[in-house]
Every structure is written in structure tokens, then in C-alpha cells.
Chain A
Amino acid sequence: MSGPLLEVVDVAKRFSVGTRFSRQGVRIVHALDGVSLTVMPGETLGLVGESGCGKSTLGRCITRLYDLTAGTLRFAGTDISSLSQRQMRPMRRRIQMVFQDPYASLNPRRRVRDLIAEPLRVHTKMSEAEISRRVAELLDIVGLKPDHAMRFPHEFSGGQRQRIGIARAIALNPELIVLDEPVSALDVSVQAQIVNLLADLQERLNLTYIFIAHDLSVVRQVSTRIAVMYLGSIVEMGSADDIFSRPAHPYTQALISAVPVPDLAAQGSAKRIVLSGDVPSPVNPPSGCRFHTRCPIAQERCRVDRPALTDCGPGRRVACHFPTDVVHTA
């Protein structure tokens, strides 16, 4: 077995908001706080969490759209955490990103052909004939018709636009694609089409995905492994099946139990854990365990002592002082 495709070690990202002259002065948003994970070739790592948990920030740090505040990023063994934008360019061919809003991420004044050809023109020395051939091939791969090439983005539905975005992302045969909420803006029936398309492409093109979403059932469907995030840190990691069938962290348990299931039979059996309050502000994160302000089982220790992400079973890691014993209850 080869080594990991991507290693994220202790990555932190802080933003500052306000100026020295605003009332509260400069405030630091702790968007990411010591995140570590690895992604193996060919797998899909799902990143889930609620708004403000840092999952999108992490995706943008991995693609180096953001610079890291601290930590190391290794892609295929190469440290890319401090490469300049120029040095990153050859890497960009290998790491691509797909965004949530297919409406906003495509230039409305350019034809589909040019949108898909753009990465080819920037990164390769292909001739015009080769580029047209490749664009036709890409359209076919993502399930669009050849005559779609001459149209503009506004002539497409949301699902079709997301297909265009995917075609752009796979144009250069990347190894890793970071998908940031790729199906959140789509209707359920269309969402399933895109989920299937992504699964097909992964198999066919040997892709590795980092799949960022807030919809737990979609994440469960696409992911091999899942990392659950809360307020800038990973609280639990493990295989998709394990996380959903035996969540160890109280936050993961609450998150899963909060999802309304369209299955009347399952309704009565699961006990719902309703968390009180909102996610605290990342400007002033709580002391100790970040989750203790909403945790139903928080103890005195959780207020002061921040739990580290530790192994708690095969392939399982959890950041909690009192995790549910996943090995023995299983």
C-alpha cells in the first residue's frame, strides 16, 4: 500500500476582522485550530459540521486558496504548505476544487466550451484542435451533450451547471478534488444525479475526494471515511459506517440524531438529542472542550481541559474525555 496522498498536520487558520480603530479593535477569528488528518489515494474523506465549523476553510487551505497560519500540508510527499502562488502552479493541476454555487462560480459571459477549455489553455500547451477534442470528451464524461458547448451558463439548470463545474475540475486529470458543498444548492432529484456522477468519475478516473457538506445523509452516501468538525477542530474521525452506526462523540451523536429521517419506521426508535443554544463565536471560543457549552454530558473537567484527538478503536479517533465506548458497545 502506498503512502497517503494528502497529510494535514496541525493546520491552523486565523483571520483578523476589524481594524485597530474599530470599537472592539482587531478580533481574531479562530477558523481552524490544530487540524490533522490524512487522505489515502482513491478514498473519499467526508468533512461534516455546521456553519462556522471551519470545514470550508479547511478545504480552501488544502487547495491553498488561503495561506495557512500554522501547520504543514503534504501532498504526495511534497510539503506544499509554504509554496508561493507561483510554485503552487504545477500543483494546481493535481488538486482541483468544485464549489457550492454553480451559478456564482462560472463566468456568465463565457461559453461553456471556453469555461472548460480555460484550465487546459492555462496549464497545458495543447493545440486548439486537441483542446476541442478534450472539451468534447469532458462534456461526454459529465453527461452533457456536444451542442451544449456553445451555450452560456445561464441557459443551464443548476444540476447542469454543476456538471460544467465538474468538467472544469477534471479537465487536467487531477488526483485530488476538494468538493465544497457540491450538491447543497440542488433539488433532491438532481442531487442524486450529481452524487452518482461523482461516484462514477471517482471509479473511472481514479480520483480522491474531500467531500465537504452539511447534509449528513449525502456525506454518508459518498464517503469512505468521515471527519466531524466543530468550531475549527475535528471532534471525531472514522469510517463512514462506524461514525453513523456507533458515534462516540456527544456532538456527533446529537448531529446524527437531529437529522429528520424520511422513514416512518425509523422515527420512533431513535431518541433525539436536542442541543440547546447556538454554536459559540469562533472569535471567542470557549475554554477547554469547545463543545462543553452545549454538551449534554459535560463535566467540570471539560471546562478547563481540552481533549486531544486520540485513538479509540480501529481507525477511530475522538476528541472527548467521556466518549461512548465504541468497541464494547458494538
Chain B
Amino acid sequence: MIFSLIQRVAQMLFVMFGISVLVFLIFFATPGADPAARIAGRNASPEILEAVRKSFGFDQPIYVQYLTMMKKIFVTGDLTSFVNRGWKVVPAVMDTIPVTLSLVIGAAVLWVVFALLIGIAAAATRGTWVDKTLMMLGLIGISMPVYWLGEVMNLLSQSRYHDTWLFSWVPPLGYKNFSDDPKGWFLTLVIPWITLSILYIGLYGRVLRAAIVESLQEDYIRTARAKGLSETRILLRHALRTSLVAFVTLFGLDFGALVGGSALLTEVVFGLQGVGKLTYDALLNLDLPIIMTTVLYASFFVVAANAVVDILYMLLDPRVRTA
């Protein structure tokens, strides 16, 4: 157990190192890329370029620049933005994390609960119109782009029907801190949660149904029937339990990616200052320090989510425990 934990941490450090080097090299070592020119703006005079180079430290060997940046992120924590000098990057990223976590965790709860319900209901009624309708709805959910759905939700809840009883409770766009205003926090996030989770409800519902239907073909289901168990018990205790592995795998990957910034589109649409939005803005400005920090943060979450999935595997499947 301790051994595999150490292994995990080592793996995470390796991934983070690899990604940071890659991002750094794309920025600095791509042929024709001159960060100073980008920072100084178009048609800058050679003198200005030279000054920029010196003040940002671009005149130093590349590995020194890399090490300096890593030191500023992890040790001193005083890395500053290239675009907005004096703006400390690490606290900026830290500020966005609660926003993204609030959004993603809430949506994840929604999508796990509803995907379980849909997947089980569809598997239990497989072949009937209930199953077909649920699967069709799932497909529609998967097919709706989140930025479009988000805009439609905004249109309905913020302007078109805002004054009706249905949406009058919806607060203006933006994020409220949980500690300052728990009710506001909840209300501002309800619509984003639904928007983000719809795609995943459709996807996970369909995946779960397929996995359950597959495991219903197994020999041990026949044994369970021969034992005289009820169909409900067979479905929930025997078929569902063995089908959760696929579900958990997907969940780990998606959750890690979303927390790492993939919820960007939802954040932009709903004006939430999350990690995705921050990265997006930084990419527009080619603001390396921020990109570097968010990318490292994202890779940390992806690896951490995978580690959690592995632990869940052990709980779900005893064969993994002893292997």
C-alpha cells in the first residue's frame, strides 16, 4: 500500500515535470518564437526588445530560465505575470480553484446520480420503449454543445423568462463565495451545474446501461437466478456492482480533466472566474507564467484523480486487491 502510494507520487512528479518542460519548450524553443517580441508588442524597437529581454531574464540560458520559473512557482511563490507585471500568479490561480471545484463537484454529483438512475432504469427495461426513450434522451444530451446550451439557459433564465415564477430566483451571472453567502453560492451555480452535467448524464447513462446489459449475460447472473433471487436484487447487487468499473474509470478521467480546466466553456458562458477561464485568458495573451502554473495544477489533478480511481477499483473488485 505504502509502496504503491510512493509509486503514485513519483509518477505524478514525473508527469508534472514532463508537462512543464514541454510547455516551456513550446514557448521558448520553438523556432521563430521570441517571447520578448511578443511581450514588447508589434513594431517594437530593438532597444525596447533588448530591455524587455534583460528585465524578464530571457538573456539567460534556457535551463536557468526554466529553473528560475520552477523556483518561483514552488519555492518562493512570487512568480508574476508577463503581461500584467506585479500580478502574482500563484495566488491568482489559488483564487480560481474554489470556483472550478464548486462548479465541477456539484455537476459531478448531479451527473453521477442521474446517470445511475438512467442507466439502471434503461437496463431494467431493456428492449422496451422506456429504454429506447431514455437512450434517445441520452444521445440528445451528448449532442448538445455546452456553450450553446449555456447560452440558451442564460437567455431563458436571465432575460426571456426571468420575470416568471420559473426563473425569478436566478441571480445575475458571476460567482459568490460559499463562506460569504452560501445561499447565493448555491443559486448562482444551479444553472451551470445542470448545463455542465447534461452531457455527462447522457454519456454515463449510456455507458452504464451497456455495461449492465453485458454483465447480465454472465454465468454468475444465471447462478443468481437459480438461487431464486428477485430480479431487482440481481440487477442491483450482482449486475450493477460488476458494471461500475467502467463507470468509475470514465469518471476519474473526466473529473480530473474538468477540475484541471476543461470546464472552460461553462465558466466562460456563466462568467465564472475559474481555472479554465484563467487559462483561456492567459492563452489569449500568451502569458506563460499563468499557463505554466495552471498546466502544472491540471496535471496534478489528473494524476490525483487517477489515483483515486485506482483505490476505488480495489474497493469494487477484490481481484485487483490481491493481484
Contact = CB atoms under 8 A, between A and B. Distances in A.
Nearest to A22: B323
Contacts of A23: 322-323
Interface string B190-229: 0000000000000000000000000000000000000000
B7 interface: yes
Contacts of B323: 22-23
Nearest to B1: A23
B322 A21 contact: no
B164 interface: no
Contacts of A21: 3-4, 7
Give the interface residue-count category, chain A: under 10
Contacts of B4: 21
Contacts of B7: 21
Interface string A1-31: 0000000000000000000011100000000
A24 to B, nearest CB: 9
Interface string B285-323: 000000000000000000000000000000000000011
Nearest to A21: B7
A224 to B, nearest CB: 40
A175 to B, nearest CB: 43
A22 B323 CA distance: 7
A283 B3 CA distance: 23
A22 B1 CA distance: 10
Interface in B32-47: none
A254 to B, nearest CB: 30
Contacts of B322: 23
A21 B4 CA distance: 8
A21 B2 CA distance: 11
Nearest to B322: A23
A149 B3 CA distance: 58
A21 B3 CA distance: 8
Interface string A77-104: 0000000000000000000000000000
Interface string B1-27: 001100100000000000000000000
Contacts of B3: 21
Nearest to B321: A23
Nearest to B6: A21
A275 B286 CA distance: 75
Nearest to A17: B323
Contacts of A22: 323
A111 B23 CA distance: 52
Interface string B154-194: 00000000000000000000000000000000000000000
A23 B4 CA distance: 9
A21 B322 CA distance: 13
Nearest to B4: A21
Interface in B215-254: none
A179 B7 CA distance: 45
A22 B3 CA distance: 9
Interface of A: 21-23
6 contacts: A21-B3, A21-B4, A21-B7, A22-B323, A23-B322, A23-B323
Interface of B: 3-4, 7, 322-323
Pairs A-B, 3 closest by C-beta atoms: A21-B7, A22-B323, A21-B3
